[in-house]
Amino acid sequence: MTLDPTYLEYPMRRRGMDHDYYPYSAMPTRKPVSWPGGKSLLVWPVISLEYFPMAPADKPFRAPGHMQTAYPDYRHYTAREYGTRVGIYRLLDAFEAVGARVSIACNSAIAQRYPALVADILEGGHEIIAHATDMNATISSGMPEGEEETIIAETLDVLEQNIGKRPRGWLSIARSQSFDTPRLLAEAGVEYMCDWVNDELPYRFKTTAGEIVNIPLNHELSDRQIINVQQQSVDSYALQIEDAANWLLGESGDHGGRMLPLHLTPYIMGLPYRMDGFDALVRRLADNPAIAFATGEEILDSWKAQQ
C-alpha cells in the first residue's frame, strides 16, 4: 500500500524554526552592528525584582524560586524579601560605583509595596522592565487569552502609575510565553521582550498586531542557573562571565558589536559572601576600554537606528 504523499506535507516547514515570526539568520551573514562610543561589547545587566505571595499558584506552573515547604513557608518567604531589603541595594551599589545604569525587571506588586525602593532605582537612572504582576502570574499556552491580556495590562498600568512612564520592555516569569504573548505584548504597546534566548543580539519579531523586538536574555549565564541550580561558587560564576566576555570581544573583530546579558537575582547574588567576588567582576568589566554597560532600551534604540 502506497502512502498518500499529502500525509508528509507540512505547510509550515521553514528554514530554522517552523513559524513566520522571524526569518532564519546565521551570525556570519548579518550586517555588523556598531555600538555607541565604538565599544565592541555591551554588557546588559538585568536584575529581577520579584514579589512572591505566601501561597504559590501552581497553574499553569509554579514560578522558579517560589515557596517550597508547608504553609506558611516563612523560610523562603523571608529569604526572598531579603532581596528587596538588602540584596538589591548591594547590586545597585556595585553598578553605580562604576557609573553603570541597568535594567530592573520589576513585578508591579513591587512598585505598590516598595515605593521607596522604586524611587531609589529611578533616582539612579535605571530602567524598569515589566515583569508581570507578581510571581503567581505565570504564563503558558492553555490559559485563557483574556486572562493573559489582563496580566499584561494590569502590570503595565500599575507600573506606569508608580514610575511615571510606561515600561518599554517585558520579561515573562521564567521567560515563559503562550502562543499569544508576542501579539498581546505588541497590542499593549510593548517595544521589546526578553523571553526568547536564541541569539545574542536583538531581532525583529512579527505578529498580527505589529512588530516587537526580542532582546535575548541568556539563561545559561544567569546567577540562578550557575549558583543555585548548578551549585557553583561566585568565583566560578565570575570566571564564566569573563570567559564569555573575552570570547565575544574576539568575535567582535569579524562580526561587529556583541552583547552580553547578566541576569541577576538580589536574594541570590546579593548575599554578603558573594558580593566581594561580584563587585570585583563588575570593576574588571568596567575597566576594559572595549566594554560598556547599557540598559535594554539603550540597546534597543542603538540597534534599531542601524536597521
Summarize pLDDT for 166-199 with one digit per residue, the tens: 999 999 999 999 999 999 999 999 999 999 999 9
The reported pLDDT for the residue numbered 1 is: 62
How far out from the chain centre does Cα 194 lie? 5
Q: For the chain, which ranges sit under pLDDT 70?
A: 1
Angle, nearest 10°, between helix axes 88-96 and 115-123?
Answer: 10
Domains of the chain are 35-305 (3.20.20.370)
The reported pLDDT for the residue numbered 167 is: 98
